[in-house]
Amino acid sequence: MDWQVSRNGHLVLENGKVRAALGRAGVTKASDKCEGDGATPLGTYPVRRVLYRADRVARPETRLACRPLQESDGWCDAPDDPAYNRPVRRPYPASHETLWRDDGLYDIILILGHNDDPPVSGAGSAIFLHCKRDDYMPTEGCVALDPDHVRALLKALRAGDTLTIT
């Protein structure tokens, strides 16, 4: 199934439309996406796997590959590094994002298949669907939902499903 997130910030779930936060710079064509631009790339992306903070939330009910985050989990965002747009273990010598966060945004993360098969240097990394800030503040280029809506989506997702940002 293809799940759709509109550029005006809504995702349609089985029980209706829910609010979604997108990038601080809005949306951009996937071909125009650049590392650090703050835009959410338009396009259709496979949902690769799920990570979650087992010390904060229960394992999400999902049919997708799912594993607990470790404090050492990171995601490389250095375009010139061989691990660009790949998970890394911290400490890591190149620029990377820390996935073990104190703010709750990454308590549940769906890894989206943007620029990962294979990664193109500088074309954007770490496009996730994750938990929103309380006030739906824009993301750095990801899609963010209320944690209850993340769980509802995970419960409905099946292997092979995609997320389309339109």
Which pLDDT score is estimated for 14? Answer: 81
| pLDDT bucket at 66, cuts 50 / 70 / 90 | very high
**For 128-153, what is the mean pLDDT?**
97
CATH T-level assignment (fold) for domain 2-165: L,D-transpeptidase catalytic domain-like (2.40.440)
pLDDT in tens, 33-64: 999 999 999 999 999 999 999 999 999 999 99
| pLDDT bucket at 15, cuts 50 / 70 / 90 | confident
pLDDT in tens, 72-125: 999 999 999 999 999 999 999 999 999 999 999 999 999 999 999 999 999 999
Cα 161 to chain centroid distance, Å, stands at 15
Using the CB atoms, write b or e for 121-142: b if 16+ within 10 Å: ebbbbbbbbbbbeeeeebbbbb
**For 17-46, what is the mean pLDDT?**
98
φ and ψ at residue 147, rounded to 5 degrees: -55, -35
Which pLDDT score is estimated for 112? Answer: 98
The pTM score is 0.97
Q: What is the DSSP string of 81-107?
A: STTTTSEEESS-SS-EEESS-SSSTTS
